[in-house]
Chain A
Amino acid sequence: MSARRGGRLFRKYVVVLVLLVGGVLLVSSAIELYFSYEETRAAIARLEREKALTAAARIEQFVNEIERQLRTSTHAAFDDPAAAMEQREIDFLRLLRSVPAITEIEHLDGAGRQQIRVSRLAPDEIGSQRDLSREARFVETRGGQTYFGPVYFRNESEPYMTIGVPHGEAGNEVTSAEVNLKSIWDVVAGIRIGSSGYVYVVDSQGHLVAHPDMSLVLQKRDLSALPQLRAARDALKAPGPEREVVSTARNLREEPVLAAHALIPPLRWIVVAEQPLSEVFAPLRASVARSVGLFLLGLALSVGASVVLARRMVAPIRALQAGAARIGAGELGHRIEVRTGDELEALADEFNRTTVKLQESYAGLEQKVEERTAQLTRLVGELRALGEISQTVNSTLDLTQVLASITAHAVQLSGTDAGTIYEYDEAAEHFVLRAAHRMEPEMIEILRAQPVALGEGSVGRAAVARAPFQIPDIEAAGAYEGRLRELLLQSGFRALLAVPLLREGHIVGGLVVRRKSPGEFPPDVVDLMQTFATQSTLAIQNARLFRELEEQGRQLQAASEHKSQFLANMSHELRTPLNAIIGVTEILLEDAQALGAPEQVEPLERILRAGRHLLRLINDILDLSKIEAGKMELHIESFPLGPLVSEVVTTVQPLIERNGNALHTDCPPDVGVMQADATRVRQALLNLVSNAAKFTEKGRIDVRVRREIRDAEEWIVFAVADTGIGMAPEQTARLFGDFTQVDSSTTRKHGGTGLGLAISRRFCRMMGGDISVESAPGQGSTFTIALPARIDAATEISPAPPPVPVAAPSAAAEPHRWSVLVIDDDPTVRDLMQRFLVKEGFTPILAASGVEGLQLARARRPAAITLDIMLPDLDGWTVLAALKGDPELAPIPVILVTIVDEQSRGYSLGAAEYLVKPVDRERLGQLLRKLCGGPPPRRVMVVEDDETTRALVRETLERDGWVVEEATNGRDALARLGEARPHGIVLDLMMPEMDGFEFLDRLRRLPEWREVPVLVVTAMELTEADRRRLLGRVSEVLEKGAYARDDLLREVARLLTVAANRPTPSATGAP
């Protein structure tokens, strides 16, 4: 910026000086040029005028000469006309010879008749007497004046003019000549003005007569429009003293010209002289160049001079400016040197003096600032160190690291050479080395090996004194008696400072810094070390607290783990026998019902109820303990809400009816799909509805399902309202606690574990929702479950993989289509499963271990497999993996039936379903029917020779859902047995070929057919021998005569069903 200011001043000076000198030069050059121009123009105009006049004079002279010649040629006058004629001819010939411009010459007599004509180009004419009295040359000369005709062209290209001269005594004869004007052209062409100026001639009409460019003349150019001619023609029209007219105009080639003219009065011709302006002013151009050169030279000189002058003036000012700028920038040692000997030098000196003063005052100021800065730097360092330590203390619990950091900072900031920190062991009453900085390893070794006792060494003494303790010089006698004295001195340490670490008066440890130079530690260092000591105390304290907390946490966790493990183990141990109890009881109950033993039914039912309650309780506790231990997994899937709700309602319906309640379900058909753990949602809803049913008598229960938008997210809200006993606010507050019912008496009255709500709420919370309640005593209660409509699970399990399609029932697969392989090591379970399967119409295949299961699966290719997880040899997971890994077995659907609750794992390994023991038999039945493509058909073979009876039996049985096969006699039946195994046989005894007895003998001899129930229907009167023969081989014998026909048939159907459902003991035998 300063440089630019200087530059501006310099430029100003230069511009002003240049303008002055340049302006004077410019004006003088311009004036000179103007006058040169005017003079040149005038000179050229004069010259042109002269040339024009010369040309005019020469042309006039030329014409006058011809006129004179013509006049003189006609002097001779002879009396003899012939002689005169000849004389005239000779005269004319002479004239032709002497005047080349005349091409023809002619004589007309007074009457205008041609007497003689002599021509250069045409044949001569002598005495032709042609009448030419009307010709202009004759008419125009009547007044005695010479006739000058207009210019015309022969052969289109030769300019000619007729000149007629009157003569003779009467002056009425005419001698006329055709004059070639080319010589005028020569005159005109010969005149040059400068190098490109020229002269041309036009007649009074403005037509070109002569021009150096002959072609222009021959083209008969009309120049009357040219301005330079207009002026001249005006002069012609208005005769008077001829004015000198010079004009600047354009010529035919549109060049600017300077034109002057002269007149030839007798011919009324105008001679114009023109010179292009470019040439006119050519000399002027040199002059201009000279002037411009001079101007430029002058300008250059003036610029040079200006620059030098301006620099002279500006340089010292610039020096001042630059100097001031440097001083301003803080360069106080700078001195401005200006030696002009004028005011500027004085100014510079003044500047320099001021600078000296400024420099002096700065020096003092700088010293102070330096001192303060050092102080500040130190303080900042301390603060930063403390900050870092605090940060370390707060960010890590690694005490060693913290203490190492404190030691390092303490050494650094106290300006000492080494440092150590000790922790005080209260029990042992000694100090243990915890951190050292820049200490000799052997010294550390010694300190580690032998902790410093209280009161010993500097640390011990400082601790005892509860105050800092310092030894300014270890070397000084009696100053330090510690066992490290020699070692310290060897290492070069001379002074040390120990500060105790105290907390509420208790000794926590000590901080020692050592220095290699002797001397007292300044108070601020002691203070600083005390601050560090405080930090160290804090760190040690923190670490101790943390250690304690960690220990407690570990213990707590172990306890919790033990509890969970215990609960899980106990539940398992409890559930296994309970399964057996419930299963066996169910069978017994069914048998009792089937066999019609009502006195057994009631106690069995009680056992079953108690067992189931126990099982629920165990399951709830197990769930709760799982939730508590964080081991509960959610099995997230998408499922339609409608069916779930109706399923719950159906389940709870008997309970509702028992208390005389009315249930109203409000579930809009478009409520749609939810993504959550369906089992848990069902469980929670079931819990609420069954609670409502339990606590309401003869009232109304409303189940309402809604899809709602809350905070821009979709929620599903289930509300269960009842008109039951209701609750007080303090009761609702305790409602969701474990083992809680409104009061203990309700438990006894209404049953239930008291864990349902607690578990339900936990499940809902796991899914991101909750259960809430609104209630007042006697007003009924409304429980509300609110769940997000879409729960994203990190390990979302898609809805159970589509059931693996059952292998197409090919002929080979047919025998196995309804077979189910049960793999379980528990014989009770196997037994229960077998009974169940047989009852359901399936063919059970039993395996007691994983290996056996795999073998049977390969050998028998069952339609489905139920698999336990806890197996003696291969566990269920391995078996499942093996099944799914075998391409031939992989299509067989596997249902996991186990106590282990790891659904996700099961599904991910390819299980079709996952059932937790105890098995819900209804659900298992549904699943198997689904997986096997429908309920297994029950086959019966009717062996009867009478066609009518056969058809009747067939019809009746088919109505009951049996698949009937017919055989006409025993042989036929035996042959057909191989085709499909019947579940029962209806046998007539009296048949051709092979009767019933023989058939039975043969049938029972085959092991696989030994168990098939056989119902004998006969019209035959059986003898005692017959009966004995049948005993133990058939299920029932119906004598036709004892029944009405319909009754007989119904009885056949009933007995057959009973017989088919009753398992035969030998079927359970392990292979």
Chain B
Amino acid sequence: VEPPVAASAAWRRRLALTVLVALAPAVVEAQPARRPYRIGVLNEAFTANHPTVDGLKIGLRELGFAEGRDVTFDVRFTEGKPDAALPAAQSLVQSGVDLLFTSNETATHAAKAASETIPIVFTLVGDPVASGIVSRLAQPGGNVTGVSGLTTELVAKRLELLKALAPRLRRVWAVYYAADPSSRAAAMRAREVGARFRVTVVPRPVTTSADVERALVEAGPGDGLLPPDVPILDIPALVLETSVASRIPAVFTSALWVEHGALVSYGSDYRAEGVQAARLVAKILRGASPKELPVEGADRIDLALNVKTARLLGLTPPRKVLLRADVLRR
């Protein structure tokens, strides 16, 4: 009788192989986790926790991206220096980020200049078409998309608001950074629609901080101020100073300034814009191409009113304004 030893050894091997094959799918599924996405954040803020960045983080968290595990943030803020944006953008690109999240036009332009391939999601761009960031809102093309702050569109509404608060308003100074096309577009729009509210809007392009000082000195009683929404040359802050110091009413683009004592603001909520942009960021991180994602208009437009400042300026906010106000500082 032949010894079955060799055959049974071979058989055992075959059995082991079969079991291995059966288990194979389970082994394959246990893939190593992907490394976190790195998001480069670039803005002109003076601190790292700009409201849009907060909004982005909140939005991403709501969409299931945990910071540290799924995403990390590399934040660069240029403190309002126009020249600092491009080097910062380039350094982010060189550090190998997966996506650039920008706020304001300058940062967005810098990001565009630094890379034509890394997806860019912008916020706080008042007029993306006018500023040349995208060619069309519905189909932005290139590697850029984002949330538009509707600044230009809301200029009329701001003038209406300022006039409603200060009915004696005759002239409004629209001070803006000369090289910023969207600010310029907003100023021009203001000049166009000013007559409707029996107000003369004077666009005042400036190129230096000294220009700003000079422009603001010209504002006197019966005048109003219309600062741009971009903080280049720190114009909004200077306008706020002038407004409070010279009791000249000014309408701002963001509730941020009302928090700091500005009279009134009408514009998108920065944090909400960040949250809104987080949706785009998430889509891109999940594989969508930025050129197919339309530029969205800001969802939330807030009216913020500082009652204290109104009183300081000797103004009584009418009921209609109060009814409208989303934020009231007393």
Contact = CB atoms under 8 A, between A and B. Distances in A.
A94 B323 contact: yes
Given A155-B297, A296-B18, A300-B15, A122 B157 contact: yes
Contacts of A337: 1
Contact of A215 (B1, B154, B293): B293
B324 A214 contact: no
Given A213-B283, A296-B22, 20 more contacts: A90-B319, A90-B320, A93-B320, A93-B324, A97-B323, A97-B324, A121-B154, A122-B157, A123-B193, A123-B197, A154-B297, A156-B294, A157-B137, A157-B296, A157-B297, A215-B288, A215-B293, A296-B21, A299-B18, A319-B1
A157 B11 contact: no
B196 interface: yes
Interface in B160-198: 160, 193, 196-197
B296 A96 contact: no
23 contacts: A97-B323, A121-B153, A121-B154, A121-B157, A122-B157, A123-B157, A155-B137, A155-B148, A156-B136, A157-B138, A158-B296, A182-B299, A214-B296, A215-B293, A289-B25, A297-B22, A304-B11, A315-B1, A315-B2, A315-B4, A319-B1, A322-B2, A338-B1
B299 A319 contact: no
Contacts of B299: 182
Contacts of A304: 11, 15
Contacts of B22: 292-293, 296-297
B292 interface: yes
Nearest to A312: B4
A396 interface: no
B156 A123 contact: yes
A12 interface: no
Interface string A310-338: 01000110110010000000000000011
Contact of B153 (A97, A153, A155, A292): A155
A375 interface: no
Most A-side CB within 10 Å, residue of B4, B319, B323: B323
A219 B293 CA distance: 9
Most B-side CB within 10 Å, residue of A124, A156, A289, A296: A156
B301 interface: yes
Contact of B138 (A89, A96, A219): A219
A44 interface: no
B323 A93 contact: yes
Contacts of B293: 214-215
B295 interface: yes
B80 to A, nearest CB: 28
Contacts of A307: 11
Q: How large is the interface on A (under 10, 10 to 19, 20 to 34, 35 or more residues)?
A: 35 or more
B297 A123 contact: no
Most B-side CB within 10 Å, residue of A89, A155, A182, A296: A155
Interface in A210-246: 213-215, 218-219
Contacts of B150: 121, 155
Most A-side CB within 10 Å, residue of B137, B294, B319, B323: B294
A154 B19 CA distance: 62
Contacts of B294: 156-157, 214-215, 218-219
Interface of B: 1-2, 4, 7, 11, 15, 18-19, 21-22, 25, 136-139, 148, 150, 153-154, 156-157, 159-160, 193, 196-197, 279, 283, 288, 292-297, 299-301, 319-320, 323-324, 326
Contacts of B2: 315, 318-319, 322
A384 interface: no
Interface of A: 89-90, 93-94, 96-97, 100, 119-124, 153-158, 182, 213-215, 218-219, 289, 292-293, 296-297, 299-300, 304, 307, 311, 315-316, 318-319, 322, 337-338
A218 B297 contact: no
Contacts of A322: 2
A122 B156 contact: yes
A1049 B3 CA distance: 140
B69 to A, nearest CB: 18
Nearest to B290: A215
B56 to A, nearest CB: 17
A297 B326 CA distance: 68
Contacts of A318: 2
A435 to B, nearest CB: 65
Contacts of B297: 154-155, 157-158
A218 B138 contact: yes
A854 B324 CA distance: 157
Nearest to B145: A215
Nearest to B324: A93
Contact of A156 (B19, B21, B138): B138
Nearest to B294: A218
B3 to A, nearest CB: 10
Contacts of B11: 304, 307
B18 A300 contact: yes
A431 B104 CA distance: 145
B141 to A, nearest CB: 13
Nearest to A124: B160
A124 B164 CA distance: 11
Contacts of B197: 123
A297 B19 CA distance: 7
A218 B138 CA distance: 6
Most B-side CB within 10 Å, residue of A89, A297, A300: A300
Contacts of B156: 122-123
Contacts of B326: 97
Contacts of A119: 157
A524 B18 CA distance: 79
A4 to B, nearest CB: 15
Nearest to A217: B294
A89 B301 CA distance: 19
Nearest to B326: A97
Contacts of A93: 320, 323-324
Contacts of B160: 123-124
A460 B105 CA distance: 147
Contacts of A124: 160
Contacts of A214: 279, 293-294, 296
Contacts of A100: 300
Nearest to B279: A214
A338 B323 CA distance: 108
Contacts of A90: 319-320, 323
A337 B283 CA distance: 78
B138 A121 contact: no
Given A157-B295, A218-B294, A120 B323 contact: no
B2 to A, nearest CB: 7
A769 B272 CA distance: 132
A215 B139 CA distance: 9
Contacts of B324: 93, 96-97
